[in-house]
Structure 1
């Protein structure tokens, strides 16, 4: 792809005789570029699609017009695309080029007429990288440029004709035939690229990339011309009423982004050189994936899936913005990560918070609609901002033993807030804790535990502690010693049956009566079960080490409810084997109520108990039939 040729009086060392010592003068070399290789690199690695050739043509034309307007504010600005049987032409009344400019800017890869003033380029021009015209060779066999300079009226117009093989020619033209300054670029399609020159496709691409450009752009084909640019962005137009403007924004969001927005948020950061709209998704966003946005750079579309514009927590919106301050990447399909982008990102994050604050104070129904879909996004924001948490706390619902209620309401009834670490732990104790008056919040959902930890700083006098099995057990009523003594044989049989499962058995009285047994285990008890399972599968040495930890390890508890008639009737069962089956069934039912995955040993116990009951029922039914006979 790259060749070297002599270009001076320097020779590389080590090119002399057998001794390896250079004896002649050094030779210098210059790189010769294989244009086909460069085009392949651009089309397959730098640019995502050949469609960008339209963007590069537009970019050069707009920059040329902008440069001429700096010389002559009254100069024409209209840009025209024309499609016919010969290919595609784009004409602009811009600054144009002289013959020396053509050699410098068109025939030198990587050189840009804007590069000499980078900061000016960022503010005034679209292009910066000096390789844009090469994108045309992804679809064109030849590129013909006819141009006349407005900066040097005495210079004759010139024609530059380049081919995809890297060769080009340059000739001067008759000034009488090209009296007006400006540039026309004519592309001849390469084999297989004809669909990119279809009038409908070109109009679609020009509208997509250039709809917000400040100059009029038209596309002409088959004798008809269509305007491809809007006069002003939809969010900057004047409307008869706020309702009409809101309706127009909703229609624009649906047409451009492909979904019906739930709401819209105005974005106007003058200091950051940015304007636009954020469209709230009508479906919950994915917190693990930052949202993609449609970004225009000085009116030219940079990309419709640009990431990094908003903070990661703002995954519930997609934005359409126009900016003149942010830097594009070399492919001009993303934003360059720098301090300026970080400032814009923070500014837009502040705007999201301000919008939520406004509708929370003035339009609670609108906020409720938003939270019904995007409560998770607001929780993600609130965990980074105590002020946002304070504002949103009365509106965010949490799963508690009092139902789905705001924490402000829950804390009024339960100043001592207990939190479960997982959803399973909450389900395990929710019914019993509610009946006993214990206030418990489910901290197992995304962000909930983090927000609950911040609660004491927002609500003075409120304490937040993690719920454990001992706290629940301590809240249950003790049973009269005489009643417990009457059930002593049952308790003894239960302890023997459940000991292999690392589960203790106790008797308490609690509500609701419909719950005959409650399975409680702490995080330590679950770790103990994991240790037992690991030790069973471990090698001898590790099994001994893990077994040494057993003595002090916590165990789960099966709490039998003395208020339950089912539990009290257990003492009437005279068959020890059937009593064991009944106790295992109670254990299995209590375990299922926790909604936790079952271990193989627990599954085997449930299957065995079910089989024993089925067998007993079958024998009982057969005995009754024989008695009737």
Structure 2
């Protein structure tokens, strides 16, 4: 392909090649490029850059070599020689540019670069040092570059290196403008001397490069990147097909968000909200993947930092030329406290704000579809409110609850606020083991009598949610198991059917039977239709919501001591007080006390082992049968 005449060898001390090249290439090959196939992505990216440059040059310059040459990248394989050839029709390089661009790795000093690499300070290096090309030495023993500049009078030139302490520059033969790179593969990299393998790599990393990539005579990449198209030009069927190809999920996505901007931030993205948490025909998973591109070249297969954790169910692609990349193009700069990269944060903020807005719009315009979203992904939204104070206000409109007035429908906090009664200045909620238990909660007696609505919380994540949701638009949230609950409005006064003496005796029976499980037993001021409720003492006010989570996680969970409030007018309490007067019914009374207490635990979602109740329930049934007999 070339004739090496008048070759120039640059010693380690020569200016064009700087010192420590062998050390640098060893670091690049063994430390930074953990995935060997990255070499092809890097070389294709460089070829694409060269094509972009000549395309731009031809806009204003008519004196360009081969102005009619197709803008393309061609890849060839010689299985016998174990070589790969990557060729483009881009801007090309002169002899001097080959020395400058390939022989001088760091304009500010190779020693600085190596010190940064050895210290693992790799972010933004690719913007400071042109080292992407050197990924070729990950797989190649020898790299040859033959190039001819776009300038009409420029001659072709050759650059060759074996990754040692010198390189060769020589005259070469090449008629067409552009650059050809020939890789002589290492023995352990012979797997890449295969067209099928290279085609696989192109489709994974470079499928949406703006220029055609040919392997042999077959085009290996897609013609267009959907996310770079104007949204108005994309059909719903195209979004669905793209989502299916990307995820192997054959159920259509619930929602897609497509936006594109050039300034002040270059950002092109399509984000998908799946129809279900668990999706994918081949790979079953509950978390999405955001594929990160720069100039349509895949940078990260799963960019976890580009959206907040509470949106990790989202699938999609994000493409930005503004992203600061590390030396291997394998990641964006991660969270580093005050040094966190502002561009990454602007991209993240833009994506998050747009996605949140689209979900809010969906909730307002298509409530039925939004219920589907909420039923699948509500734990993530609750997590966001619990863990990200800065996102709290933006996410609040997305919350939905079952309430005592919503029936089978879901209500927003705004819906609740609109139904508050006169004089109400708090939002009330009850926590239980499940929805039906919440609806049966004895804590709701006083609220129902006054026409006050309550949020019904029964999901495990609700306990975490409450850590970040203490108020809404100036309205404080209050658990109705509060021992000092004071409610607006009026309720009918019940008739008390037992004397103070009988009630005092019954209180003592409760205390003796339940022992350290209760802090006190007293008459209730709020119960109307239930015999008993459990109330959290003052010292449990800040962790009572998490008690249900602890019960799930801890096998040795013990119910914290509770206040027992009794409804003096309830028929069961009246009968129990009368039974307590007879010594002959002591065992029955104790069983009834235990059962009433554990019934309340069950409704609260705090019972450590409901199966323990079976024997007692059977004993109570036998006692009832004997009395009836």
Residue aligning to 2:345: 342
For 1:31-46, list aligned pairs within 5 A: 32-33=19-20, 35=22, 38-46=24-32
Query: In the aligned structure 2, how far is the partner of 1:302 from the partner of 1:363?
Result: 36
Larger radius of gyration: 1
Q: Cα distance, 1:338 vs. partner?
A: 2.8
Residue aligning to 1:539: none
Query: In the aligned structure 2, how far is the partner of 1:423 from the partner of 1:593?
Result: 6
Q: Cα distance, 1:595 vs. partner?
A: 1.8
Q: Cα distance, 1:194 vs. partner?
A: 1.7
Q: In the TM superposition, what whole-angstrom CA distance separates every residue of 1:248-303 from its partner, at most 9, and x where no partner exists?
A: 11111221244453221111223222223111133449xxx997522221222222
User: SS state of the match for residue 326, structure 1?
Assistant: coil
Query: In the aligned structure 1, how far is the partner of 2:91 from the partner of 2:323?
Result: 25
User: SS state of the match for residue 41, structure 2?
Assistant: helix
Residue aligning to 2:483: 470
User: SS state of the match for residue 171, structure 1?
Assistant: strand
Relative to 1, partners in 2 of residues 1:369 and 1:576: Cα closer, same or farther, differing over 3 Å? closer
Query: In the aligned structure 1, how far is the partner of 2:322 from the partner of 2:78?
Result: 38
Residue aligning to 1:15: none
TM-score, length-scaled by structure 2: 0.71
In the alignment, is residue 493 of structure 1 matched against residue 490 of structure 2? no
Is the deviation greater in 441-450 or in 301-310? 441-450
Residue aligning to 2:604: 594
Residue aligning to 1:230: 222
User: SS state of the match for residue 188, structure 2?
Assistant: coil
Residue aligning to 1:453: 471
In the alignment, is residue 282 of structure 1 matched against residue 275 of structure 2? yes
Relative to 1, partners in 2 of residues 1:517 and 1:191: Cα closer, same or farther, differing over 3 Å? same
Q: Cα distance, 1:46 vs. partner?
A: 1.8
Residue aligning to 2:144: 144
Query: In the aligned structure 2, how far is the partner of 1:425 from the partner of 1:203?
Result: 53
Query: In the aligned structure 1, how far is the partner of 2:237 from the partner of 2:53?
Result: 38
TM-score, length-scaled by structure 1: 0.71
For 1:418-437, list aligned pairs within 5 A: 418-420=427-429, 431-436=441-446, 437=448
Q: How many residues align?
A: 534
In the alignment, is residue 326 of structure 1 matched against residue 332 of structure 2? no
In the alignment, is residue 79 of structure 1 matched against residue 73 of structure 2? yes
In the alignment, is residue 171 of structure 1 matched against residue 177 of structure 2? no
User: SS state of the match for residue 193, structure 1?
Assistant: helix
For 1:126-137, list aligned pairs within 5 A: 129-137=129-137
Query: In the aligned structure 2, how far is the partner of 1:82 from the partner of 1:127?
Result: 29
Query: In the aligned structure 2, how far is the partner of 1:561 from the partner of 1:595?
Result: 25
Q: Cα distance, 1:183 vs. partner?
A: 1.6
Q: In the TM superposition, what whole-angstrom CA distance separates every residue of 1:417-443 from its partner, at most 9, and x where no partner exists?
A: 444596579968962233331543357
Residue aligning to 1:13: none
Relative to 1, partners in 2 of residues 1:362 and 1:612: Cα closer, same or farther, differing over 3 Å? closer
Check whether the contact 2:131–2:327 (CA below 8 A) recurs between aligned residues.
no
Check whether the contact 1:401–1:431 (CA below 8 A) recurs between aligned residues.
no
Relative to 1, partners in 2 of residues 1:152 and 1:327: Cα closer, same or farther, differing over 3 Å? farther
Q: Cα distance, 1:202 vs. partner?
A: 0.4
Q: In the TM superposition, what whole-angstrom CA distance separates every residue of 1:81-125 from its partner, at most 9, and x where no partner exists?
A: 01122221111122333333333322333459xxxxxxxxxxxxx
Relative to 1, partners in 2 of residues 1:422 and 1:153: Cα closer, same or farther, differing over 3 Å? farther
In the alignment, is residue 517 of structure 1 matched against residue 527 of structure 2? no
Residue aligning to 1:63: 49
Residue aligning to 1:21: none
Query: In the aligned structure 2, how far is the partner of 1:265 from the partner of 1:528?
Result: 39
In the alignment, is residue 215 of structure 1 matched against residue 211 of structure 2? yes
In the alignment, is residue 99 of structure 1 matched against residue 123 of structure 2? no
**Structure 1: 5+ residue stretches without partners:** 9-29, 113-125, 457-461, 530-552, 625-629
Q: Cα distance, 1:41 vs. partner?
A: 2.8
Check whether the contact 1:506–1:560 (CA below 8 A) recurs between aligned residues.
no
Check whether the contact 1:292–1:318 (CA below 8 A) recurs between aligned residues.
yes
In the alignment, is residue 410 of structure 1 matched against residue 416 of structure 2? yes
Check whether the contact 1:147–1:184 (CA below 8 A) recurs between aligned residues.
yes
Relative to 1, partners in 2 of residues 1:454 and 1:611: Cα closer, same or farther, differing over 3 Å? closer
Query: In the aligned structure 1, how far is the partner of 2:517 from the partner of 2:348?
Result: 54
In the alignment, is residue 181 of structure 1 matched against residue 184 of structure 2? no
Check whether the contact 1:585–1:610 (CA below 8 A) recurs between aligned residues.
no
Cα RMSD between the aligned structures?
A: 4.5
**Structure 2: 5+ residue stretches without partners:** 1-10, 60-66, 109-125, 279-285, 334-339, 545-559
Relative to 1, partners in 2 of residues 1:440 and 1:615: Cα closer, same or farther, differing over 3 Å? closer
Q: In the TM superposition, what whole-angstrom CA distance separates every residue of 1:6-52 from its partner, at most 9, and x where no partner exists?
A: 979xxxxxxxxxxxxxxxxxxxxx984363x5445334432340111
Relative to 1, partners in 2 of residues 1:296 and 1:41: Cα closer, same or farther, differing over 3 Å? same
Residue aligning to 1:50: 36
Residue aligning to 2:254: 262
Query: In the aligned structure 2, how far is the partner of 1:516 from the partner of 1:196?
Result: 77
For 1:510-549, list aligned pairs within 5 A: 515-524=530-539
Relative to 1, partners in 2 of residues 1:455 and 1:522: Cα closer, same or farther, differing over 3 Å? farther
Check whether the contact 1:419–1:442 (CA below 8 A) recurs between aligned residues.
no
Q: Cα distance, 1:196 vs. partner?
A: 2.5
Check whether the contact 1:478–1:509 (CA below 8 A) recurs between aligned residues.
no
Query: In the aligned structure 2, how far is the partner of 1:606 from the partner of 1:298?
Result: 61
For 1:102-113, list aligned pairs within 5 A: 102-110=98-106
Highest RCO, 1 vs 2 (Cα 8 Å, sep ≥ 6):
2
User: SS state of the match for residue 520, structure 2?
Assistant: strand
Query: In the aligned structure 2, how far is the partner of 1:431 from the partner of 1:355?
Result: 36
Query: In the aligned structure 2, how far is the partner of 1:91 from the partner of 1:329?
Result: 25
